Structure 1
């Protein structure tokens, strides 16, 4: 069994991340039967293969490019590179400077390199897309000993249908243990991931109303797209998880407020209030237009506004 050390968690979010690492190690030993002492170098697709495979992620690449560059300008002084991978853990793009090139060559951190967990072991990109969760791998947390000095922060990216589209990764070979900025970097990375998801979602449902169900948690924002009848035609990963919606649910185009009213928990009431406030914002305060967009009568909307103490 790999005996590398993981420090004890200090909060619930860190505990969740370390639980993901432990599960990944178990998969490496039992499912993949990987030798942690064995050196490994990523397989890299040739030019033609890479162009063919990456074309499937053309939309993600296009939407992520600007955000990657913005993220790189924020973390460049910390010696971090920015990597974008697809849902199969293949690196699609990177933002690096001259100081990273030797590490990139040594580890094949380049376009077309495949970092699937089943062959690379626990790693930021591969484990992130496998578990669909954010992950931080500090000193010695990778499965393979050859990556002991590799520091990695990664968050999953979700497409407009709530599926994992890939991962956004910050990486460094500085060999340092946990730093005071780790939590800040994870949150910054999550914000970048959410902005990419939102842009993918808005582009997919261009011309439709986009409403939020509530405050953002984690790597996905709880957004929904509704048509002029107030029917749900799209939902992000977070919205689907929160409401328990499936592809079949979305395909049936249920009315959004009816769906929310069926929930008895306070969280659903708060979601309904957020949707109404969002609809009013979209209509610039026009109650009649907001009611039409939500698929309810003006009188019903006024009643709901009164119930939530909204003037």
Structure 2
């Protein structure tokens, strides 16, 4: 998909040109930059930066995210430091909350306002890792020339949204480099590392929110969110991550009624629900160390029903 980038030729303004390999997400973002935000890519830009008092007030709302995410940020930074990448953490409004950078990054960080309190929302900065990831709720890689503004043309960004315990966007992690395409050969590996970090942060936020509940998986993670659910001692759903909600279609209203987990899964007709049910039973058995009675009790079903399902699934 390529956006139409018709410019005012009399002004001599020309937007970036998408390559055939460009993602749909980036193309859509460029369309918004031109059509919705009316941004001139050749224009210089300087981020709005909150004052110290404003930053302390706003960042306080993300205190738990910062506390949970910083160890992952430091770990990521250590892994990619040799590639010239820095690590940035932002809130749901694309405000930078924290960063891990090398001393050599300082001059360009000052020039581009890559610092705490800087606002990088897409409607002002154009297509960028943080702003576009939190808006579209999807992982994103931007190589040389793939940011909207020309002044960011040498930036490379690997950005992943972080989801909170209720499935909403809590913020984003962004690995950024000033060396353009030098990291492109390793892009799949770097983006996967960021997604794994995002999933670990999400899981910690989820487990902290539902302390005391049993956290089960509906299947393997495929993206930047893990399909996790929390159930109580009666096998009722008390919480679900972003991926679990996307998979099942559950809403806050659904979860608020505390339905039985396996009953909800059995109501689904798609094959994915059968796989999810098997994943739930496998993880419940693992948590109970193979104790069938404890597993059945935790899932809110009879032991006979559990045995029947295990037989159908080929589980011993």
Question: How do 1:146-225 and structure 2 match up within 5 A?
Answer: 146-176=151-181, 179-225=184-230
Pairing 1:38–2:38 present: no
Asked whether the equivalents of residues 138 and 177 of structure 1 are also in contact (C-alpha less than 8 Å), the reply is: no
Pairing 1:302–2:307 present: yes
- The secondary structure found in structure 2 opposite 1:114 is coil
User: What does residue 12 of structure 1 align with?
Assistant: none
Runs (5+) with no aligned partner, structure 2: 6-13
What is the alpha-carbon distance in structure 1 between the residues aligned to residue 138 and residue 159 of structure 2? 8
Question: How do 1:270-289 and structure 2 match up within 5 A?
Answer: 270-289=275-294
- The secondary structure found in structure 2 opposite 1:219 is coil
- The secondary structure found in structure 2 opposite 1:261 is helix
Residues matched between the structures, number: 304
Pairing 1:93–2:98 present: yes
Which sits farther off after the overlay, 258-267 or 246-255? 258-267
Q: For residues 136-170 of structure 1, give each alpha carbon's deviation from its aligned partner in whole angstroms, at most 9, with x where no partner exists.
A: 11111111111111111101000000000111000
- The secondary structure found in structure 2 opposite 1:4 is coil
The TM-score, its normalising length taken from structure 1, stands at: 0.96
Q: For residues 232-285 of structure 1, give each alpha carbon's deviation from its aligned partner in whole angstroms, at most 9, with x where no partner exists.
A: 000000000000011101101110000111112221111111100111111111
Asked whether the equivalents of residues 89 and 97 of structure 2 are also in contact (C-alpha less than 8 Å), the reply is: yes
What is the alpha-carbon distance in structure 2 between the residues aligned to residue 121 and residue 94 of structure 1? 21
Measured after TM superposition, the shift of residue 6 of structure 1 is 3.2
User: What does residue 141 of structure 1 align with?
Assistant: 146
Asked whether the equivalents of residues 82 and 95 of structure 1 are also in contact (C-alpha less than 8 Å), the reply is: yes
Runs (5+) with no aligned partner, structure 1: 10-14
User: What does residue 238 of structure 2 align with?
Assistant: 233
User: What does residue 9 of structure 2 align with?
Assistant: none
What is the alpha-carbon distance in structure 2 between the residues aligned to residue 44 and residue 165 of structure 1? 20
The TM-score, its normalising length taken from structure 2, stands at: 0.94
User: What does residue 18 of structure 2 align with?
Assistant: 6
User: What does residue 257 of structure 2 align with?
Assistant: 252
Asked whether the equivalents of residues 139 and 178 of structure 1 are also in contact (C-alpha less than 8 Å), the reply is: no
What is the alpha-carbon distance in structure 2 between the residues aligned to residue 3 and residue 87 of structure 1? 27
